[in-house]
Structure 1
Amino acid sequence: MSDSPLPVDLSSPLRRRLLRAALLAPAVGALATLPGCSVPVQVEGTFLQPWRSHLDWTMADWQRSVGLAQRLGCKQLVLQWTGIHGAPEGDWQLTDAGLRMLFTAAGEAGITVRVGLPFEQSWWQAIGGDDAALQAFFASSLARAQQWLAQAPWARLQAFGGWYLPYEIEQYHWADPARVQWLGQWLHGLHQAAQARGGDCAISTYFSRLQTSGRLETVWASLLDQVPLRPMVQDGVGVAGAGNVQQLKPLLAMLKQRGVAFDAIVELFRELPGENHDGTQFKGETADAARIERQLAWARDSGAEHVLVYALDPWLSQDTPQAKALRRQWGL
C-alpha cells in the first residue's frame, strides 16, 4: 500500500473539464429554434456539465440546450453533477426548481436524464494522497452522498434515466489491489444508496497515459466483482490523440467476455498547446468533423450499447469558427 502521495493524472478528462479554462465562447441560443431537418449524424446521448452560471438558467435556457440534443437524435442526457462540494469559491448545488425545469424540458423532448451526484472536489487530492487520506475521503464522501440521495426525489420523475457517479476510474491510481478493494467498497456503498432510490449507477472510465503496473481491465474486473456498475468508456482522443482507443481494447474485450453492458463516450474537442503543463490552464477547441466521425465509427464498433458525446453544449453550440464548421458539416 502507498504511503507517499501520487502525482495527479493531468491527462484526466474530468480534471480538464473542471478547470475549463476561461472560458468557453457564448452558446448560440438560436440553435434549438431552427426549423427541423434531417441531419447526417445521429447521436444517442450527450453530457451536460453544470456550473454556477446554470443557477441563473431559465426554462428557455434548459429548452435550448435540450433542444439541440433532440435535433441530433439524443435519447439520453447525462447531468455530470448536481453541484460541487469543496469548490474553491464554496459549495454550490443546482436548485430543485432548476432541476425540475431540466426534467420538464427533457420530458417534452423525449430525453431521459441520468442524474449525477454532487461532485467532491477533494477527489483528486485524495486519490493522489496516502492510504489514510484516501480512506478518510471514502468515509466522509460516502456519508454526504447517502444523505443527499436519501432526500433526492428525481427517481420518481418520468424522465429519470438512472444515476451517474461523477468520477473517473483509470489504472494509474489503482495499481495497488488494496486500494482497488477500498474503491470497490466505496462504490458499493454509493450503489446501494442510489439503488434504494431506484435506478442503476453509471461511472466513466479512461486509459491513463501515466506509466504504471496497473491495468485498466484488471481494475474493472475487481470492481465488477464487488458492484454492478455501468461503465461509460471515454475514447480519450481529445487530449491523448486517436491512438488512445487502441489502449482500450483489453478493457472492451473483458467487458464483452463478461457480458457487461457499457456506453462509449466520444470527445468533441481537442486540446490546444499551452505554456502551463500542470493541468491548470487547459485550452481546447471543437475538433474537426473528420476526426469526430472516426471516433464515432470506433464507438459504434466497440460493442457499446449507447454512444454519447462530450459534449454538444458547449463544443457544438458555442459561437466559434470550429463549432460553426461542425454544425455546417452536421447540417445544422
Structure 2
Amino acid sequence: MKCVSKYSLMALLLITATVCRAGEIPVKKGPVNGIFYQPWQADLSLTRTDWERRMAGLRQDGLDTLYLQWLRHGEIDFLNARLKTGQPFIQVLLDAADSQGIGIYMGLFSDPGFFDALNLTTRELDGYLLKLREKNLQLAKEFQARYGGHPAFRGWYLPEEIDDLNWQSAPRRKILEYHMHHQGDALKSLGCEKPVAFSTFFSGALTPEEFAQFCRQLLEGSDHFLLVQDGLGGRMDIATTRRYHASLRRIVGKQDRLCWIVELFDDELPGPAFSGKAIEPLQLNQRLAIVHKEFKGKRLVLFSLRYWLDKKDRLSQHYRRRFQNPVREEPAKPTHDH
C-alpha cells in the first residue's frame, strides 16, 4: 500500500524549485554521500534558519543522505520536541533537508543502557530485546502517523549498534537475527515500505574473516543494509582496519547492502570513558584512502555532523577543496645552478 498524504503534493511542487537550485548552484560530487547526526537537547536552541544553513552546507558538500541516530534517546523525546522558537524539531529538520534534496533515515529508540543489557543471560537478553522492539515499533508508528509521507523521509535506522564480542555464541546470534529481521517486518507492516539500516563495529574480538562472516550472516534473510564503523575513532590502527575492510569486500556477497562509516573523531580518554575530538584534515585524507572505490557514493557515510561542522566547518571546507574540487599542483620548474 502506497503512502498518500499532503506531502505528496508538496513533493511535486518542490521538484521545479529543486531543479532550479541545482542549475544555479552546481554541486560536484565527492566520494561521500551520507552523514550521521546525533541530536542532543542543546540542539533545540538552534533555529529553522540554522538548520536551513546546515542543510545548504551539506548540499554543497555533495551529501544527499542524513542518518538521524535516534528519535528518542532514553527519556529525551526528539519526536515531540520543539525548538526554542516553538516549532516542532522533526518538522523543521525534514523541511530543511527537503529544501536541499536531502533524505533522512530516521533512527528509532536508543537505550543508553543497551550495552549494559548485553551482560544479561541469553534468556534475559531475549526478553530485553522484545521490549526494545516494542518501543521501536511504537515510536515508528507515531512518526509514521505524523510524517510518514514527508518527501525527505527516506528510511529507518535501528540505533542498537552490533559489536563483535557479545554475539559469538549460536543462541545469542539466533536471537539477534530474529530481533533484526522481526523489526524489519514490523516496520513494513506500517504501510510504507522503506529501507532499514543498522550498524556494527569491530574491536578485535573476531578476526577480520570471522567478522566478515558474521556480517554476511546478519544480512542473510533480510533486505536491510549494514553500515560498518571503521573503528579508527576508537583507537583501531589503520593497518588493522584495512584488513577488516578487505575481508568484508571479499566475503560479504551483498555488496550493494554493505556500507562503510568513516569516523571523524578521536577518543581523547583512556578506558571506557569517551570524549570525542574532531580529527585533523590530514587524518580525513588517511581514513578515506582506506576505502576501496566500490564503497564510494551511497555506500560511504561520515560520523558525524557535529565533528564535520566543528571549528568553522574545518573538515567540510577541507573536503570541498581536496575531494570535490581538487587542485592539481603544477610541477616544479627546473632550476639551474650558476
SS in 2 for 1:231: strand
Q: Taking structure 1 as reference, are residues 187 and 211 closer, same or farther at Cα in structure 2, changes over 3 Å only? A: closer
Aligned to 1:195: 188
Task: Give the Å deviation of 1:260.
Answer: 4.5
Give the partner amino acid of 1:146: L
Query: What number of residue pairs does the alignment pair up?
Result: 286
- 1:84 aligned to which of 59, 63, 73: 73
Aligned to 1:109: 100
Task: Give the Å deviation of 1:286.
Answer: 1.9
Which stretches in structure 1 are left out of the alignment for 5+ residues? 1-35
Aligned to 1:14: none
Aligned to 1:318: 310
Task: Give the Å deviation of 1:301.
Answer: 2.4
Task: Give the Å deviation of 1:69.
Answer: 1.1
Task: Give the Å deviation of 1:251.
Answer: 2.5
- 1:180 aligned to which of 173, 180, 192: 173
- 2:280 aligned to which of 276, 288, 297: 288
Could you report, residue by residue, the CA deviation over 1:178-216 in whole angstroms, capped at 9, with x for unpaired residues?
101100111112111222232010011221234689932
Aligned to 1:267: 263
Could you report, residue by residue, the CA deviation over 1:104-163 in whole angstroms, capped at 9, with x for unpaired residues?
000101111111112122211122322133112111111121222223223311111111
* 1:94 aligns to 2:87 (yes or no): no
Q: Taking structure 1 as reference, are residues 325 and 163 closer, same or farther at Cα in structure 2, changes over 3 Å only? A: closer
Aligned to 1:157: 150
Moved more, 103-112 or 300-309: 300-309
**Is the radius of gyration larger for structure 1 or structure 2?**
2
Give the partner amino acid of 2:263: E
Q: Taking structure 1 as reference, are residues 217 and 41 closer, same or farther at Cα in structure 2, changes over 3 Å only? A: closer
TM-score, normalised with respect to structure 2 = 0.75
Could you report, residue by residue, the CA deviation over 1:72-130 in whole angstroms, capped at 9, with x for unpaired residues?
01011111111113xxxx44333272111111000101111111112122211122322
CA contact (8 A) 2:309 2:316 kept: no
* 1:253 aligns to 2:250 (yes or no): yes
Distance 1:224 1:252 in 2: 14
Aligned to 2:58: 69
Q: Taking structure 1 as reference, are residues 146 and 94 closer, same or farther at Cα in structure 2, changes over 3 Å only? A: closer
Distance 1:112 1:213 in 2: 32
Could you report, residue by residue, the CA deviation over 1:196-245 in whole angstroms, capped at 9, with x for unpaired residues?
23201001122123468993223223322333210112211122131223
Could you report, residue by residue, the CA deviation over 1:7-56 in whole angstroms, capped at 9, with x for unpaired residues?
xxxxxxxxxxxxxxxxxxxxxxxxxxxxx797895531111110122334
Task: Give the Å deviation of 1:177.
Answer: 1.3
TM-score, normalised with respect to structure 1 = 0.77
Q: Taking structure 1 as reference, are residues 300 and 75 closer, same or farther at Cα in structure 2, changes over 3 Å only? A: farther
SS in 1 for 2:67: strand
Distance 1:157 1:40 in 2: 25
Task: Give the Å deviation of 1:289.
Answer: 2.1
Give the partner amino acid of 1:245: R
Which stretches in structure 2 are left out of the alignment for 5+ residues? 1-24, 82-87, 323-338
Q: Taking structure 1 as reference, are residues 214 and 246 closer, same or farther at Cα in structure 2, changes over 3 Å only? A: closer
Higher RCO, 1 vs 2 (CA within 8 Å, ≥6 residues apart) = 1
The Cα RMSD (Å) is 2.8
SS in 1 for 2:57: helix
Aligned to 1:140: 131
Alignment of 1:203-282 (within 5 A): 203-210=198-205, 215-239=210-234, 240-243=236-239, 244-255=241-252, 257-272=253-268, 274=269, 276-277=270-271, 279-280=272-273, 282=274
Give the partner amino acid of 1:175: Q
* 1:122 aligns to 2:117 (yes or no): no
Give the partner amino acid of 1:250: S
Give the partner amino acid of 2:160: Y
Give the partner amino acid of 2:68: L
- 1:299 aligned to which of 291, 294, 298: 291
SS in 2 for 1:129: coil
